[in-house]
Amino acid sequence: MMAGKYLSVLTHALLLATLLATSHAVLKWVSVQQHDNYIQLLQTQWKGVFLALSLYGFIFFYYIVVLRSSPVSILYPVYTGLSVLFVLLAGRFIFSEPISVTQVFGAICILAGIVLMGSGR
């Protein structure tokens, strides 16, 4: 794949991954808000739920548009791998979730996979 095309696919993958990780972070934030049951949670946190669902919808349609000019065999693995890494980082730095040595090793493996899959060769 040409360098310019690879940069374009990587840019789209980064944007998709960032949006997806953001929607997961919003849902995590919603889930930890004080509530007695899920009906009450939805009634009090509907804006967060709506935001997360809106992001999912935007991602879906943006992904369709990007697929017209990007190989799915490269875009999808790179964007989903980056999403996993971004969610791991959001959990750690936004929600103070611990990261184990096993998770760090897994993240390194995912990064290696992103590089290998992203090369498209």
Contact 24, 90 (CB under 8 A): yes
Does the pLDDT value for residue 118 go beyond 80?
no
**How much is the pLDDT for 1?**
55
Per-residue pLDDT tens for 10-62?
Answer: 999 999 999 999 999 999 999 999 988 989 988 999 999 999 999 999 999 99
Domain boundaries, the chain: 3-119
DSSP secondary structure of 54-94: HHHHHHHHHHHHHHTTS-HHHHHHHHHHHHHHHHHHHHHHT
Contact 82, 11 (CB under 8 A): no
Contact 81, 114 (CB under 8 A): yes
**How much is the pLDDT for 13?**
95
